[in-house]
Amino acid sequence: MKSKLLFGLLAGSLALPIVSADQCSAQFFSDDSSRPRLIAQKRRTLKVRIEHDVVQADDLMLKGKYGDAESMYKQALQRNGKSVPATVGYGMALAKQFKLDGAKQQFEKALQMDPRNAMAHAGLAMVMYNSLQSSSQTVRSNQDAILRSAEAECKQGLAIDPGMPEAHYTLGNVYRSQGRIDEALSEYKEASKLDPEYSEAFAGVGLVNMNKGQWADAVSAFKQAIALSSGNSTAHYGLGRTYFKQGLYDDALKELNTSLYQHRESAPVRLTRGEVFAAQGNAVGAVGEFQEAIRIKPETPEAYINIADIRENRGDLEDAIAQLRSGTELMPDNSVLRGRIADLSLKLEKLDQAIKEYQKVLEVDPGNGPAAQGLTRAYYLKANKDANSSFFVSNEFESAKASIDNAVKMNPNNMELRLAQMKLRIMMGDPVDLSQVAAPTNDGERLAYAEALLAQNKFTEAEQQFNTVITNAKDAKETFAVADLALMIKDLKAADAAYKKAGTYAGNEKRSARGLNLVAKAQEGARQDLTLADDLARKKQTQSAIDKYHAAIYDNPRVANARLGAGNTLQQLKPLASKDLKEAVVQYKAYLALATDLPPKEREKMEKKIANLQERAFKLEQKEKGK
């Protein structure tokens, strides 16, 4: 069965009488009114030639020779500019070559001549859909409206001719772009049912199956599309990407290279080739492909993210951020790019910058769980770093708290978000009983639970959660992710264990060594700060000593003597405030949690001291409030 896109183009043309040679001679050479009859016959002959040109052009379209078809349709229109089939065919030939402005003009012209031409409506929808590949800011900012208009044109065409496979196919593309995956699949299948030789429809089925992770079904559909038309670059791309997702890198490159030969300016093909190269360890080749994807279509966020990942893996975090920022210049509201900038800023301990980026993500996407968790993580680190924690009463912190509360409201069953919310309450000094929270059931929940436990200085329980996650990590990527998180939140013990495990995977020794070096650097920094803090405390330089104790605790929260020194020195501040005594209590409790080998009498003595300080802090606070 031939596609209606082609043989449907003649619909609406006038039927012509079949004239024999004898009849022609009689008409041309009759003595009675010979000139009018001659003119009429010439017109009929011209019309036959026009329709012959259209049929030939249709055949060229079937063979994918769109440029030749364009010339043939144009030739037909030169003979008769009012031929609707030739006008629609010309528009289709232009559309297939992405000459979208010209195609749109032809379809609109056809609809002026024949408002009920179904193929013209379908063609106009195709032009609208394909226009979304433009880098024009105007087009990008109106994407939703363009998709709605394309959907309306498709449906209008199908109302006239429900059996038009091209309209079903284009409607499937629109639905897929809108995230309506099941509806898209239904339209693609309908198109392939109406025209079993319609290669593009099978490629559409393959793309949906690929996006669903149904690899076997995707491979089958793509191969069927290629069998029908070996020149279907989309099918070769889809098959290549499916092979990549299955880890079949050589097979993937073969298909991607074929697709690239057929369509040189394809950003998705370049992007996937880059991902294959990266998976094979060819970082230089990967970056080159990602940069090509950006050149072809600058608003390809995955390309910026992949380059940033490569830069991060070799330790160039600043360069990684620079790559991501070049993406946000074109896509300022892209939450994925902003989130990655925030994550990397956190790793660089640029806490204020990280907080700013996480808040921007939550402004655009209020229910973004990772951003809400990242924001609490940034505030946790800031609380440990800031000597007076004055930001807890600032408008900035209140705004962040409201954002996280809103994220929890939008995702009430997300345990990780609820733990992040509890973590904020812990940092504010509110009583929180984590034992009332259901036991974590996956590694994401375990990490969030560990962070909340650390906020309460429950180091042993947090260590148990981290150890479980590290044990569960099944490859280098997962293990490094845990290690990087542990290093970021200064749980150096967990970071050390995770980096050592990651280093056991072949090819990851250098990155493991870099991570372990950062752990050692933080440990040494904490040791030096503690030594200096003790020296300043002995010299009665109280405030300077406290600052250094805070620095030691920030670098390594598990140093018991830094906690003890901070608690002792805080009590020597003059004038003494209730907040100083409260912090001394926190530091002493942390000391008890860390000093697991403390003799029972010493532990009992410290517990009594903590109770006494809590009472003193309460009385002093009442006095400060004038009660």
pLDDT digits over 476-523, tens only? 999 999 999 999 889 999 999 999 999 999 989 999 999 999 999 999
Q: Which of 437, 472, 487 is the last residue of a domain?
A: 437
Q: Exposure pattern of 459-476 as b/e (b: 16+ CB <10 Å)?
A: bebbbebbbebbeebeeb
Token pair recorded at residue 78? 């030169």
Distance CA 597, CA 611 (A): 21
Range among 23-37, 241-255, 398-412 rated most confident: 241-255
Identify whether 51 is part of a domain.
no
Q: Verify that 484 and 404 share a domain, yes or no.
A: no
Distance CA 43, CA 51 (A): 12
Token pair recorded at residue 90? 């010309």
Is 36 within 8 Å of 228 (Cβ atoms)? no
Identify whether 507 is part of a domain.
yes
Task: Give CA angle at 523 (517, 525), nearest 5°.
Answer: 100
Distance CA 172, CA 366 (A): 30
Q: Verify that 568 and 525 share a domain, yes or no.
A: yes
Q: Which of 375, 406, 437 is the last residue of a domain?
A: 437
Q: Verify that 391 and 493 share a domain, yes or no.
A: no
Identify whether 110 is part of a domain.
no
pLDDT value at 16 more than 80: no
Identify whether 273 is part of a domain.
no
- Number of residues written out for the chain: 627
The predicted model gives 234-239 an average pLDDT of: 96
Is 387 within 8 Å of 547 (Cβ atoms)? yes
Residue reference for tokens 């059931």: 441
Q: Verify that 489 and 610 share a domain, yes or no.
A: yes
Q: Verify that 361 and 480 share a domain, yes or no.
A: no
Q: Which of 380, 405, 437 is the last residue of a domain?
A: 437
Identify whether 62 is part of a domain.
no
DSSP, collapsed to helix, strand or coil, labels residue 17 as: coil
> 429 or 568: which carries more pLDDT confidence?
568
Identify whether 297 is part of a domain.
no
Q: Verify that 419 and 463 share a domain, yes or no.
A: no
The CATH number of residue 517's host domain is: 1.25.40.10
Token pair recorded at residue 470? 């590290």
Distance CA 49, CA 61 (A): 18
Q: What is the structure's pLDDT at 388?
A: 52
pLDDT value at 6 more than 80: no
Identify whether 199 is part of a domain.
no
Residue reference for tokens 């030096």: 528
Residues contacting 556, CB < 8 A, separation 6+: 490, 492, 522, 523, 525, 526, 562
Q: Verify that 574 and 511 share a domain, yes or no.
A: yes
* Other CB atoms within 10 A of residue 219 CB: 19
Residues contacting 452, CB < 8 A, separation 6+: 419, 420, 422, 423, 426, 432, 434
Identify whether 129 is part of a domain.
no
- Domain total for the chain? 2
Token pair recorded at residue 133? 């590949």
Is 252 within 8 Å of 240 (Cβ atoms)? yes
pTM equals 0.76
Residues contacting 214, CB < 8 A, separation 6+: none
Distance CA 551, CA 557 (A): 10
Q: Verify that 492 and 537 share a domain, yes or no.
A: yes
Q: Verify that 485 and 620 share a domain, yes or no.
A: yes
Predicted confidence band of residue 104 (pLDDT cuts 50, 70, 90): very high
Candidates 76, 71, 44, 47; CA nearest to 60 is 71
Domain that holds residue 353: 349-437
pLDDT value at 50 more than 60: no
Distance CA 95, CA 564 (A): 74
Q: Verify that 524 and 573 share a domain, yes or no.
A: yes
The CATH number of residue 387's host domain is: 1.25.40
pLDDT value at 464 more than 50: yes
Q: Verify that 485 and 389 share a domain, yes or no.
A: no
| Predicted confidence (pLDDT) per residue in 423-460, tens digit | 877 777 777 888 778 889 999 999 999 988 988 889 99
In whole angstroms, how far apart are CA 427 and each of 5, 326, 383, 391, 567?
65, 35, 7, 11, 18
Distance CA 325, CA 342 (A): 11
Q: Verify that 432 and 498 share a domain, yes or no.
A: no
